Chains A and B, each alone.
Chain A
C-alpha cells in the first residue's frame, strides 16, 4: 500500500481533507481510493465501468460498485459526499456538463482532472502533421478513442464560468508531470493536463 500513485492522483489526494467522505467516479483499480483510505482516513466509495476493475477493488476491501458517470450519479442524494472525484474521465463522458452538475449536486466539492487538448504538441500535430493528434496523454487513434468530449484548459474554465461554478484551485502539469505556474494563455499552451477543484457558488 506504500507504492507511489500517479502524479495527478497524488495531486487530487493532496486536495482531500483527512476524515472526509469521497466518491471516486471511474476509480479504475482503486489506487487513489486505497491511498485516501489508508493515509487520510477517508470514507471512500468508488464507481467503475469495467467489471474487472470493480472486482479487483472489492477484493482489496474497497467499497466499489459497477456504474458510470453519465448514468449512475443521479442515484445519489444531494450532498452525500464532501468530494466527488473524476480523474481523466470527463472527456469520455456523454454529457460532461451534466456530469459536472451532478458531481456538484452529490458532492460539496468536485475534483476533476483531464488532458489539455490545447497542449502545444496537440496543436502542432494537427496544424502541421494534418493528422488527429496522438500524444502520451492522448494515446488513441481517432477511430478507437474513448475520448469523445475533449477540451482545453480554457474551454473548461469557460464552462465553469457558464455554469456559475467557483474554481477553488487549478493545477496545471507539463508533459513531465511537473507543476507549472504561468498566466492562463501560456498554461493552456504548455499544460498537458490539469486538476481543478470546484465548488458550487
Chain B
C-alpha cells in the first residue's frame, strides 16, 4: 500500500533504513487527520551505547535529507553536513549514535505526497494532508520508540532543522538532554512566508503541474520548481556573498548579449541551481514542506507566550546565528534566548561573524564547530558520557 516508489525513492531507500509505523496507532496530525500506516526513512551513523545515552538526532533543513555524511544516492554529492559529522569531526560516530530522519511530507523515502493513500490506493499528491513541524517531530518520536531509544543526548539542526529542534524541546522536554537550534526562529516571519509563497505560485503556475497530478500525466513541473528554487536560493545567500562570488561578471562572453540569455554569471548560477534541484526534489513535496515551515509558530500554539514552551525545561540549549543571515536574522534567535531566560532555562547563545548568509550553517565555519564542540563537551560531562574528543 505504500509502494509504487519513484526511482529516486527506490535509490534512497536502498541506501538507508526505514520503518513502517502507525499501522495500529496512527499519527494524529495537527490538521486532524489520522495518518497510518506511514513509512519513515532514516539513516544512522555509529552505535547506540549500552546505557542508551549517546543518541544524537540531526534534523535536516528543507531541501536536505537523511544522507548527512555520505555520498548522496541521487546527486552523488558529499553529505550535506560532512563538515560536522564523521570520524574525527565534532559529531564523531565513534562517540555518538547519530540518527537523521527524512521528514514527513518529504520525498526521500518517508511518506509524503508521493505516497499512496492506503484508503483509496490512489497517489496522495495534493490530497496528502498538510503536515506541520510538530507532525514531523511526532513521527520522529514514534521512530525513536520503535528503535527503543528513550531519549536524546542532543537534538541539532539548522533552519527548518532548528525549528524541529525547538519543537522537540517544547513537546518532549524529558527526551531532550541538549538542544542546538541553529539559524532559525520560533516562528516563520511574514517575509519568509512571502518568499515561500512566490515559490509555491511558480510551481502551481507551471502548466505541467496539472493540479498536483503530474505523475499520472507523466509530466514534471520542472520550470516552476526551478524558479521556486532560484528564488529560495537567493534568500540563503547574502548580498556580500553574491557580490564577492559573481559581481557583474559575464558568463562565457566579453560583451553584453542584448538578449535574455544568461549574460551574467549570477544568472547562469541560479539557472544551474534551479535545474539540478528538479532532478532531486519533488514539486508537491516542496509545497508541503514550505507550508510546514510557514505554519510553524511555537508561541502561537502556547498562548502566545514563547517562554511557556520552555517552562521547567531541564534541557541545555545552545543557539547560534550568523551575522549576515537575513532569512533568520540574529534578532529572531535572540527572541528565543529571551524566552529561555524567562523560563530560567540553561542557555548559551553565540552569534557568529560570517558574510555567507543563511547558508553559513552548512559551510565550513570554524567558530561554529568550536562553539558546538565546547558545548557538547560540557553537556557530555554532565551526562556522564565520558571523554568525548
Contacts and interface: CB of A to CB of B under 8 A. Distances in A.
Given A58-B371, A59-B373, A75-B338, A65 B381 contact: no
B74 interface: no
A65 B375 contact: no
A65 B342 contact: no
A98 interface: no
A65 B378 contact: no
B344 A65 contact: no
Q: Most chain-B Cβ atoms within 10 A of its Cβ — which of A57, A66, A72?
A: A66
A77 B338 CA distance: 11
Contacts of A51: 350-351, 353
B276 to A, nearest CB: 35
B344 A76 contact: yes
B318 interface: yes
Nearest to A44: B346
Given A59-B370, A60-B374, A80 B344 contact: yes
Given A75-B338, A76-B341, A65 B374 contact: no
A72 B349 CA distance: 13
Contacts of B316: 63
A61 B374 contact: yes
B347 interface: yes
Given A64-B348, A66-B351, A58 B341 contact: no
A198 interface: no
Contacts of B352: 55
Interface residues of B, number: 26
A43 B318 CA distance: 16
Contacts of A66: 349-351
B131 interface: no
A54 B344 contact: no
A58 B375 contact: yes
Contacts of A57: 348
Nearest to A58: B348
Nearest to B381: A61
Contact of B342 (A43, A60, A77): A77
Contacts of B318: 58
B346 A63 contact: yes
Contacts of A60: 374, 378
Nearest to A61: B378
A145 to B, nearest CB: 27
Contacts of A187: none
A45 interface: yes
Nearest to B351: A51
A65 B316 CA distance: 13
B346 A65 contact: no
A110 interface: no
A37 to B, nearest CB: 9
A65 B341 contact: yes
A153 interface: no
Interface string B344-382: 101111111100000000000001001101110111010
A54 B319 CA distance: 12
Given A62-B348, A75-B341, 7 more contacts: A58-B349, A58-B375, A60-B378, A63-B346, A72-B341, A77-B342, A77-B343
Interface of A: 43, 45, 51, 54-55, 57-66, 72, 75-77, 80
19 contacts: A45-B346, A54-B349, A55-B367, A58-B318, A58-B371, A58-B374, A58-B375, A59-B370, A60-B378, A61-B377, A61-B381, A62-B378, A63-B346, A63-B378, A65-B341, A65-B347, A65-B348, A75-B341, A76-B341
